[in-house]
Amino acid sequence: MAREAAMVAAKCRESQENGGHLDLSECQLCQVPDAVFHLMRNTPLTTCNLSGNLLSKIPPKFALKFCLITELNVSHNKMSKLPEELADCVELQRLDLSHNSYVNLPSVVFRLPKIKAIYANNNYIMDIEVEEVQRAKTLEEFDITENPLTPKSHDGLSAVTNLRIKLTPRELEEWEDLNV
């Protein structure tokens, strides 16, 4: 535990020196340590990499304390939800939620006012509200590959033309192939 705290403190100091780019990837974190909020209180955080940990959630205060963040990477964790407070991250442009445990994509991601790219590939997402995707006016790229999308969601997303949507080609179910 002391080793983990020392590593987090060192990474926070490094972030303060390199312009607010915090890299806590591959630290075996089960939660975002409170020390991060304390150590980074006087440093405007611009990017945060929390990938490759054991996180199941990020706390609501993350969005409140680091509301000017432009990139957030929480890929390769065990996450299945996001706090509603994430909508307060008014500068967030890139959000990587890939390789997690999402069954539903949290609607808060489409309410981020400056979001340009959402990576939600390699999850367990079946349904996507296509209208929500289209309402995200600043969204340019949406990667939803390697998810078990329903035919309705896949077809709906395939029809969207105002942004780049990456989809895994849909394979017909055996019953859909019947010429009856």
pLDDT at 132: 95
How many Å apart are CA 102 and CA 74, to the nearest integer?
Answer: 12
Q: Is the pTM of this model over 0.85?
A: yes
Specify the DSSP element, H or E, that contains 118: strand 117-119
Q: What amino acid is encoded at 71 in this protein?
A: E
Strand (E) or helix (H) holding 8:
helix 2-17
- pLDDT at 95 exceeding the cut of 70: yes
**How many structural domains comprise the chain?**
1
More confident residue, 113 or 174: 113
Helix (H, G, I), strand (E, B) or coil at 4: helix
Contact assessment for residue 70 and residue 92, using Cβ atoms and an 8 Å cutoff = yes
pLDDT reported for residue 16: 86
CATH of the domain at 132: 3.80.10.10
The one-character DSSP state at 169 is P
pLDDT at 179: 57
Residue 37 tokens read as 């909020």
> Two tokens at 23?
């890299």
Strand order across the beta sheet in which 94-96 lies: 21-23, 47-49, 71-73, 94-96, 117-119, 141-143, 164-166
Which of these ranges, 16-25, 49-58, 113-122, has the smallest mean pLDDT? 16-25
Residue 180 has pLDDT above 60, yes or no: no
| Residue span of the structural domain in which 16 resides | 2-177
Mapping DSSP to helix (H, G, I), strand (E, B) and coil, where does residue 79 land? Answer: coil
